[in-house]
Amino acid sequence: MMKYKHLGRTGLQVSRVALGTMNFGELTGETASFKIMDTALEAGINFFDTADVYGGPQSPDMEKGFGTSEEIIGRWLARGGRRDRIVLATKVYQPMGTGPNDRCLSAYHIRRACEDSLRRLQTDHIDLYQMHHVDRRTPWDEIWQAMEQLVREGKVTYVGSSNFAGWDIATAQSVAASRNFLGLASEQSLYNLSTRTVELEVIPALRYYGIGLIPWSPIGMGLLGGAIKKASEGRKATPLLQMRIEQHRSQLEKYEALCRELGEEPADVALAWLLHNPAVTAPIVGPRTAEQLTRSLRSLEISLSDETIRRLDEIWPGPGGEAPKAYAW
């Protein structure tokens, strides 16, 4: 049975696993994407994450792919009876054209990008509108004014961030508070067993402000998904993954041995480790098939003992705790 958790300090409840749709339109065709979304809904997953730029090469110089993920979701929603069953999240920031105002977080671009996403998604509102990256050249008063206007118009319900530093989160929230605005409901960060930098500053900031954490790349782009075992079975990895396997081979051997001892798949243990952290709302899984999505749900049933957590920390040590104690005390 699916479990749910409040998105940060908000009253909104989302499934403990979020469906990531970056593969839709690029690695996964429309029919398979529809099946994945149907499977997610049947499993109780109500949190769907996309971005305006997903669906192809993330470059405005490419003619194909831009907005395809949102368009596929929109056609799926158009079948009826689904929109009010999901929490729909998308993002703004990335270049959507070659013009000087086709990117970043100016009020001009935020307004246009939101209208374009609504059209592609075939909906009248976005539940969680996330800033894909921080834009330090645009004043926070301008950003929040644009977001407040979208909220007043009913086009956006909650605002989130992605790839923000801890001090960006603090700055954003201080300005939002001065405007009597809720500010950020969530932050989407790179976080997994092999990449734990957010433990220094980001997670403490999120905890202080009551902001939910949505980890992306929870299995390290395949590194934590049984990479050594798959390689031994003859499965080809990308050049980048092959390089990372060699960099972390000793850790991976210990990690996969521990997973065998637990009787669990490495990808499931990696997800369960994230779910064990009270700061985490929902890791994003980005399946290429419905079967991959179904298999990932096993992580919800895994309970990791304190001893297992200790051994995972030994294999994949974090930054040493929170700043500044991690390096100064």
How many other β-carbons are positioned within 10 Å of the β-carbon of residue 79? 10
The span from the CA of 133 to the CA of 275, in Å, is: 24
- C-alpha closest to that of 121 among 113, 109, 110, 133: 113
4, 54, 158, 191: the active-site residue: 54
CB-CB contact of 40 with 304 (8 Å): no
Cα dist. 235→36, 232, 243 in Å?
A: 23, 7, 15
Number of C-beta neighbours around residue 44 at 10 A: 15
Identify which of 182, 173, 163 has the alpha carbon closest to the alpha carbon of residue 205.
173
Copy the structure tokens of residue 197.
């930098």
DSSP string, 197-241: GGGTTHHHHHHHHT-EEEEESTTGGGTTTTHHHHHHTT----HHH
Question: CA–CA separation, 25 vs 64, rounded Å?
Answer: 10
Classify burial at 328, counting beta carbons within 10 Å of its beta carbon; exposed 0-12, middle 13-18, buried 19 or more.
Answer: exposed
- Beta strand extents in the chain (DSSP E only): 4-6, 13-15, 18-20, 47-49, 87-92, 126-131, 156-162, 184-190, 212-216, 284-285
Active-site residue, 54 included: yes
Residues in contact with 307: Cβ distance below 8 Å, sequence separation at least 6, in sequence order: none
Active site residues: 54
